[in-house]
């Protein structure tokens, strides 16, 4: 019997009601395309935010609005581990993730391949049970693809004092890229992260711009160094570093910032904001 992971972010990060959730997602796409003609661009890797849809859904939709051209496709979603429960680096070998829009299926063969080739990864549901960073991406994917996709969730525990983290991220990133290159299916890699947390707008913009430049250069070591230098509260920096490594191995030469915004764009409160970015590589 397959493990069924219930939604833990429904009703908080996004709406629990199916119809209201669809309207929430539609509003995100509408705002994402506001006053700007959408240009479909080729990419293998993206960074997307994971805050409440009210605040960051439209920034995430900048990426998701480009996916309609990519059917059929599967996803490796690199989330963070906000609560630091369970294994340091964890995937799920099989299972279903439920949201108000239905169930999303874990891609068993890819998960098994990654567990076999990357000894750092463990098959552990515990980091995923109460974590929202991967879950909040699924309704967007379900809205675009219905049930015509599968995914592999990977949780990365981010500790800024962990000296081994950058080497581990490089190893995991290379393992993911090799698995994707050897697959006959189409894959996209998503790194789920917000940027500065609860700092004044000006500081958030300065720090986040400085850090994002290293992502656009596809320099994972510079990125981690800048996070440490600024003591930046980028909650999914391990996933981003891993994604950058994978992007380079898959042929990316540089990243492109689609949108940077903060919670102040929605609330008007510039005294303590959270930063969001949508980036493709």
**pLDDT for residue 161:** 83
Helix 201-216 and helix 220-229: axis angle, to 10°? Answer: 160
**pLDDT for residue 35:** 60
Tell me the three state secondary structure of residue 228.
Answer: helix
Written as six digits, the tokens of 165 are 């983290």
Q: For the segment 57-88, what is each residue's pLDDT rounded down to a tens digit? A: 999 999 999 887 666 689 999 999 999 999 99
Q: Do 146 and 101 contact (CB within 8 A), yes or no?
A: no
Please state, in angstroms and rounded to a whole number, the distance separating the CA atoms of residues 16 and 4: 17
Closest listed residue to residue 144, CA positions, set 256, 32, 255, 281: 32
With 90 as the cut, is the pLDDT of residue 276 above it?
yes
Residues in the chain: 281
DSSP 7: P
CATH of domain 4-280: 3.40.830.10
Cα R_g (the chain), whole angstroms: 17
**pLDDT for residue 1:** 75
**pLDDT for residue 141:** 97
Q: Do 261 and 32 contact (CB within 8 A), yes or no?
A: no
**pLDDT for residue 41:** 74
Tell me the three state secondary structure of residue 86.
Answer: coil
**pLDDT for residue 212:** 98
Q: What is the maximum span of the chain, computed from C-alpha positions, in angstroms?
A: 51
What mean pLDDT is predicted for residues 31-60?
88
3-state helix, strand, coil in the chain (%, to 5): 40, 20, 35
Written as six digits, the tokens of 275 are 């930063």
Other CB atoms within a 10 A radius of the CB of residue 28 amount to 24
Q: For the segment 158-211, what is each residue's pLDDT rounded down to a tens digit? A: 888 888 999 999 999 999 999 999 999 999 999 999 999 999 999 999 999 999
């Amino acid at each position: 019997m397959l493990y069924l992971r219930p939604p833990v972010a429904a009703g908080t990060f996004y709406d629990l009601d199916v119809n209201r959730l669809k309207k929430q997602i539609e509003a995100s796409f509408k705002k994402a395309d506001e006053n700007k003609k959408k240009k479909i661009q080729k990419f293998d890797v993206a960074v997307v935010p994971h805050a409440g849809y009210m605040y960051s859904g439209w920034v995430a939709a900048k990426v998701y609005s480009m996916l309609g051209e990519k059917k059929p496709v599967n996803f490796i979603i690199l989330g963070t581990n906000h609560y630091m429960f369970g294994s340091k680096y964890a995937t799920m070998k099989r299972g279903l993730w439920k949201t108000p829009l239905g169930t999303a299926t874990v891609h068993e063969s890819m998960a098994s391949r990654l567990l076999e080739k990357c000894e750092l990864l463990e098959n552990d549901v515990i980091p995923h049970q109460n974590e929202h960073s991967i879950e909040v991406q699924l309704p967007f994917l379900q809205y675009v693809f219905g049930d015509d996709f599968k995914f592999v969730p990977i949780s990365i525990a981010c500790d800024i004092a962990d000296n081994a983290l950058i080497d581990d991220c490089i190893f995991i990133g290379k393992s993911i890229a090799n698995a994707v290159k050897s697959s006959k299916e189409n894959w996209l890699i998503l790194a789920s992260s917000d940027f500065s947390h609860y700092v004044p707008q000006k500081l958030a913009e300065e720090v986040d711009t400085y850090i994002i430049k290293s992502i656009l250069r596809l320099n994972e070591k510079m990125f981690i160094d800048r996070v440490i230098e600024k003591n930046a509260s980028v909650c999914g920096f391990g996933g981003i570093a891993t994604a950058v490594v994978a992007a380079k191995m898959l042929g990316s030469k540089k990243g492109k910032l689609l949108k940077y915004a903060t919670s102040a764009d929605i609330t008007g409160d510039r005294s303590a904001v959270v930063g969001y970015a949508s980036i493709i590589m």
